Amino acid sequence: VVADLHFAPTEWSRQNLLRENTPDEHIVVTGNPAIDALHWVVQQPFDFKTIDLPLAASTNRLVLVTAHRRE
């Protein structure tokens, strides 16, 4: 046993743990903090003129790309 409690970020992750015979009462679906934070930030008012991104200021559009490496 590696852990008694499993904090799954999504329902899909919870289902994976169940398929690995992890007892349901040991799993808590917590949400994904990075994605939850991104959704929150997107809802906040933002003035593109406060940063030096002329293209974003002129189109009022911005695309955020994140990359993660496995540890």
For 4-60, the pLDDT digits (tens) are 999 998 999 999 999 999 999 999 999 888 888 888 888 887 766 666 666 666 666
* Spatial distance between the Cα atoms of 22 and 15, rounded to a whole number of angstroms: 10
In the chain, DSSP finds a helix count (H) and a strand count (E) of: 3, 2
pLDDT at position 45 is 79
For residue 38, the model assigns a pLDDT of 83
- 24: Cα within 13 Å, side-chain hemisphere: 2
- What single DSSP character describes residue 36? H
What pLDDT is attached to residue 71? 58
Q: Which residue has the higher pLDDT, 4 or 63?
A: 4
Residue 32 burial (CB count, 10 A): 13
pTM of the model: 0.53
| Contact by Cβ (8 Å): 43, 22 | no
Q: Is the pLDDT of residue 70 over 80?
A: no
